[in-house]
Amino acid sequence: MGPVIHQEAAQAEGLRARIVARHESNDRDGHDRSSSFTLDIELEVGSGQTAALLGPNGSGKSTTVDVLAGIMPLDDGRIELNGRLLDEPSSNVYVATDQRNVGVVFQQSLLFEHLNVLDNLAFGPATNSSRRVARQKVKPWIEAFDLGRLLNRRPSELSGGEAQRVALARTLAAEPELLLLDEPLAAVDVTARTELRRTLRGCLAEFAGPRLLITHDPSDAFLLADRIHVLEGGSVVQTGTPQEIRLRPRTPFVAALAGLNLMTASNDSGVLTIDDAAISLRTSNTATQGPVLVTIAPNAVALHLESPHGSPRNAWPTVVASVEPLGDITRIGLDRPLPLSVDVTPDAVAAMDLRPGLEIWASVKATEIQLDAA
């Protein structure tokens, strides 16, 4: 758990922004794209609040980071942080990056290779303090991120998870007014990601300023954010709490991002013929006939080592395709005949010895299958 940061500025209004900027495709996330559009969104993140901007690659997330950090100017709109105007083209106001006091953690840690871990951590505080005082200031963050044994190492000697822990600690040690997290866990392997996400969640809870998490991974957004803004093609298509997004997705795109299982099918008096799947399911909804959009929550599917007793109508043999720990839950990916995401507890994973390639049974109640007319 990290130290509480006492900042007068962070107790003010937080972040308020109307961002209008030309988005040009880039390869920051390693994807080859050739898209351009005008990003036009509004964001409001209060002090002590973690908001997530969740969207696919190429939706405008990196442009949002660049604008908020001052790397590129707005084309129109306004950015205000704790009552201070940072960018407003109509007023000819533009505050340079180094004057914004905005901390950014990028997907790649971007540590200084010529410095060891301790001096990387002290880099931010050292701009306003002596080297000795700066090293003292970072001690709480060394403990929070368990970096004690790494202090004399250079970045090239760190694993991906270790380097990102150092990058997070370095940014927080500089005491920014706004914290931007640009895909902070994307370059970390699955095992390290689970532990780092847990550490990050604890430290975010004690950072007094507004926090904005930029991610394409719904797991990060649902586990770390208080509020989620879903971004698609330069526009926010839905905003809400993680629970609101998960339970009431407004579009198929949002449902897919939320981790819900979304399929197209045809309903004939409660018998669903799933498109592109060699399986039919029963639903309690007999009123919505014809082509339908089928939604099944990941926690609505039960897994069994053997065919479930009582022969439930919706039960079928399948194979585990993937196992991904996500903090208090583990997401299981199922293979054909019906590829689904299933959320279970870590205890269930251990008890059933769930692993890729394991042959199991899946079942879902007819009442848990939600339909909308397609």
Confidence grade of residue 306 (pLDDT, cut at 50, 70, 90)? very high
Tens-digit pLDDT profile for residues 257-275: 667 787 888 999 989 998 8
**Is pLDDT of 217 > 70?**
yes
| Cα–Cα distance, 96 to 170 (Å, whole number) | 21
**Alpha-carbon span 314 to 279, nearest angstrom:** 10
Q: Provide φ and ψ at 300, rounded to 5°.
A: -90, -10
Beta carbons of 109 and 184 less than 8 angstroms apart: no
Work out the pLDDT band at 374, boundaries 50, 70, 90.
low
Residue 235 · residue 75 · CB < 8 Å:
no
- List, for residues 54-111, the tens digit of each pLDDT value: 988 888 999 999 999 999 999 999 999 999 999 999 999 999 999 999 999 887 778 9
d(C-alpha 130, C-alpha 6), whole Å: 21
- Selected residue with higher pLDDT from 214 and 311: 214
CATH of domain 9-256: 3.40.50.300
* Mean pLDDT (the chain, rounded): 85
**Region of residue 196 (left: phi > 0; alpha: psi -120 to 50; beta: else):** alpha
- The C-alpha angle 259, 50, 262, rounded to 5 degrees, equals 10
CA atoms within 13 A on the CB side of 351: 9
The pLDDT of residue 256 is above 80: no
Average pLDDT over residues 20-48: 77
CA 138 to chain centre: 27
Quickly name the fold that domain 268-373 has: OB fold (Dihydrolipoamide Acetyltransferase, E2P) (2.40.50)
H-state helical runs in the chain = 61-69, 117-121, 123-126, 131-137, 139-144, 160-173, 190-204, 218-224, 242-247, 252-257, 346-352
Rounded Cα distance, 67 and 344, in Å:
39
Rounded to two decimals, the pTM is 0.69
Higher pLDDT among residues 28 and 76, named by residue:
76
CA nearest neighbour of 4 among 210, 226, 202, 212: 202
pLDDT band at 2 (very low <50, low <70, confident <90, very high): very low
Please, what is the end-to-end C-alpha distance for the chain in angstroms?
Answer: 47
pLDDT of residue 78: 97
Distance CA 286, CA 302 (A): 23
CA distance 173 to 67: 23
CA dist., res. 114 & res. 169, Å (int): 18
pLDDT band at 242 (very low <50, low <70, confident <90, very high): confident
- What whole-number distance in Å separates Cα of residue 79 and Cα of residue 18? 6
9 has a pLDDT exceeding 60: no
Residue tagged 């997530």 (tokens) = 52
* pLDDT of 10 higher than 50: no
30 DSSP assignment: S
DSSP reduced 3-state for 36: strand
Percent of the chain with pLDDT over 70: 89
Least confident of 56-65, 244-253, 270-279, 365-374: 244-253
**Cβ neighbours around 311 below 10 Å, total:** 8
Read off the pLDDT of residues 151-182 as tens digits, 9 standing for 90 and up.
999 999 998 888 888 988 899 888 899 999 99
Q: Is the dihedral of CA 233, 239, 241, 243 positive or negative?
A: negative
Q: Which residue did the predictor score with more confidence, 211 or 26?
A: 211
For the chain, what are the domain ranges? 9-256, 268-373
- What φ, ψ does residue 227 adopt, rounded to 5°? -145, 145
pLDDT value at position 28? 54
